[in-house]
């Protein structure tokens, strides 16, 4: 890797930086698994516009595993002709006309996680194919590849370089589940995102206490399990490179399929709202996974809270730091570009609790106007906040210094 750093190159051209803020969108995996096709993906795009999500910033559709139909006689990757009879380029055109970008998926081995044709040995050719289809993002998985870090870095760097040379700006999402600590090397491999954990399941937390990323593969990663890994990686995130704690479970309510494996039986709306709050302040990519064509009112309210989205998309790009890390309370602080702060108060316990937060103890001097971003109102002025936080709820405050 001597002399090669895509990150440094993109950074020196600040105006062209990919992912100056975390990307937002919708991904096929947790709702459809591999049962995808162009018709349903178009319907999702239509729903993403009609629901106001595109306007709120959700402007990517990410095709996950299951789109591939093998290679043609020149070894070019082709989509499954039954699922995508019009081809991927036509789908990209459809998206672009609506102001939506299109992401696609491959893997750094012979086969993907679900057993479809992958890109090992065809990196340059596949990157050119994606560019010719006007693809805007590649999620690059790691099933079927060797365990060691050196091979992973080599394989991701090879695809990172291939995308860089493809003639199109294609965002690169590294998906090896945090097993080889990609927060140390993903940017140098050309990545703008790196998954930090095993696949998220539609549950609040595992019954066992997972101690490591490896444990999470076994017991299934709930929202809180993922927070416990991703929160401590705050110093690695910043403009152009983000920790990716996987998709939003908001609105899935225990749907069967990938999110339902390993005990993913669903969450309640307080828990989904917590995930939206925590993912927003951790500068995670905000990637919905629910059926956008059929959203109930709480799901819309959670996904479309523009004051919460603004925290995630804040140009300062600083991931919240978890200042209090107890069994009951977690308190996060995230500085914002205009000098405001976000304070998030999470009750991890199974019963409502009364919290008393002294902002000075969090390192925030002075007196603040306090705005509750879920109630959409200013709730007072002062140096502290006291109130009840429901079980698994996250209160989200924006503080403006007076």
What residues are annotated to the active site? Answer: 141, 199
**Interactions with ligand GLA, residue window 192-221 (CB under 6 A):** 199
**Residue 174 interacts with ligand GLA (CB under 6 A): yes or no:** no
Between 54 and 113, name the residue whose CB sits nearer to ligand GLA.
113
Q: What angle do CA 141, 174, 96 make, to 5 degrees?
A: 90
Q: Which member of 38, 64, 271, 314 binds ligand GLA (CB under 6 A)?
A: 64
Interaction mask 257-276, ligand GLA, x per CB under 6 A: --------------------
Q: Which member of 141, 244, 271, 314 binds ligand GLA (CB under 6 A)?
A: 141
Cβ(111)–Cβ(70) under 8 Å?
Answer: no
Query: Min. distance of Cβ 268 from ligand GLA in angstroms?
Result: 24
Whole-angstrom distance, CA of residue 312 vs CA of residue 318: 9
- Give the DSSP letter string of 134-186: T--EEEEE-TTS-SSHHHHHHHHHHHHHHHHTTTS--EEEEESTTTT-GGGTT
Residue 367 CB partners (closer than 8 Å, separation 6+): 381, 382, 383, 401, 402
Query: Min. distance of Cβ 290 from ligand GLA in angstroms?
Result: 15
Between 193 and 311, name the residue whose CB sits nearer to ligand GLA.
193
The structure tokens listed for 151 are 């091979």
What is the b/e burial string over 372-388, where b = at least 16 CB atoms within 10 angstroms of the residue's CB?
bbbeeeeeeeeeebeee
Range in contact with ligand GLA (rule: CB under 6 A) among 112-120, 183-191, 294-302, 340-348: 112-120
Between 141 and 314, name the residue whose CB sits nearer to ligand GLA.
141
Query: Min. distance of Cβ 137 from ligand GLA in angstroms?
Result: 13
**Residue 175 interacts with ligand GLA (CB under 6 A): yes or no:** yes
Between 99 and 146, name the residue whose CB sits nearer to ligand GLA.
146
Cβ(166)–Cβ(128) under 8 Å?
Answer: yes
Cβ(106)–Cβ(140) under 8 Å?
Answer: yes
Number of residues near ligand GLA (by CB under 6 A): 9
Between 64 and 126, name the residue whose CB sits nearer to ligand GLA.
64
Query: Min. distance of Cβ 111 from ligand GLA in angstroms?
Result: 10
Whole-angstrom distance, CA of residue 252 vs CA of residue 296: 11
Residue 244 CB partners (closer than 8 Å, separation 6+): 173, 175, 193, 194, 195, 196, 284, 285
Query: Min. distance of Cβ 29 from ligand GLA in angstroms?
Result: 5
Between 289 and 331, name the residue whose CB sits nearer to ligand GLA.
289
**Residue 113 interacts with ligand GLA (CB under 6 A): yes or no:** yes
User: What is each CA distance from 126 to 54, 77, 116, 274, in whole angstroms?
Assistant: 28, 7, 14, 38
Range in contact with ligand GLA (rule: CB under 6 A) among 110-118, 180-188, 300-308, 332-340: 110-118
Whole-angstrom distance, CA of residue 199 vs CA of residue 202: 10
Query: Min. distance of Cβ 254 from ligand GLA in angstroms?
Result: 18
Whole-angstrom distance, CA of residue 325 vs CA of residue 377: 27
Query: Min. distance of Cβ 175 from ligand GLA in angstroms?
Result: 5
Whole-angstrom distance, CA of residue 7 vs CA of residue 18: 10
Q: Which member of 6, 22, 28, 29 binds ligand GLA (CB under 6 A)?
A: 29
Using CB under 6 A, list all residues that contact ligand GLA: 29, 64-65, 112-114, 141, 175, 199
């Amino acid at each position: 890797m001597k002399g090669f750093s895509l990150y440094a190159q993109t950074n020196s051209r600040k105006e062209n930086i990919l992912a100056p803020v975390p990307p937002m969108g919708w991904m096929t995996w947790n709702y459809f698994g591999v049962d995808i096709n162009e018709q349903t993906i178009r319907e999702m795009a239509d729903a993403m516009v009609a629901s106001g999500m595109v306007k709120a910033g959700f402007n990517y559709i990410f095709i996950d595993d299951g789109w591939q139909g093998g290679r043609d006689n020149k070894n070019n990757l082709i989509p499954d002709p039954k699922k995508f009879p019009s081809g991927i380029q036509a789908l990209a055109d459809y998206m672009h006309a609506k102001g939506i970008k299109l992401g696609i998926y491959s893997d750094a081995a012979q086969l993907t996680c679900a057993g479809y044709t992958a890109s090992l040995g065809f990196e340059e050719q596949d990157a050119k194919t994606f560019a010719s289809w006007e693809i805007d993002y590649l999620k690059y998985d790691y099933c079927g590849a060797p365990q060691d870090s050196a091979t992973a870095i080599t394989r991701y760097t090879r695809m990172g370089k291939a995308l860089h040379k493809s003639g199109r700006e294609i965002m690169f999402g590294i998906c090896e589940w945090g097993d080889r600590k990609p927060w140390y090397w993903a940017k140098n491999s050309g990545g703008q995102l790196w998954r930090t954990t095993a696949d998220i399941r539609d549950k609040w937390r595992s019954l066992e206490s997972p101690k490591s990323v490896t444990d999470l593969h076994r017991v299934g990663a709930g929202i809180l399990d993922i927070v416990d890994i991703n929160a401590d990686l705050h110093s690695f995130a910043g403009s152009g490179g983000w920790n990716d704690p996987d998709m939003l479970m908001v609105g899935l309510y225990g749907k069967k399929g990938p999110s339902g494996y390993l005990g993913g039986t669903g969450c309640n709306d307080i828990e989904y709202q917590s995930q939206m709050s925590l993912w927003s302040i951790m500068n995670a990519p905000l990637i919905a996974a629910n059926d956008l064509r059929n959203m109930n009112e709480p799901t819309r309210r959670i996904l479309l809270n523009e004051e919460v989205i603004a925290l995630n998309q804040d140009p300062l790009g600083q991931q919240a730091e978890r200042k209090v890390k107890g069994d009951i309370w977690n308190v996060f602080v995230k500085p914002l570009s205009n000098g405001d702060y976000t304070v998030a108060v999470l009750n991890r316990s199974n019963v409502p609790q009364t919290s008393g937060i002294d902002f000075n103890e969090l390192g925030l001097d002075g007196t603040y106007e306090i705005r509750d971003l879920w109630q959409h109102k200013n709730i007072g002025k002062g140096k502290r906040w006291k109130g009840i936080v429901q079980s698994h709820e996250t209160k989200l405050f924006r503080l403006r210094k007076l």
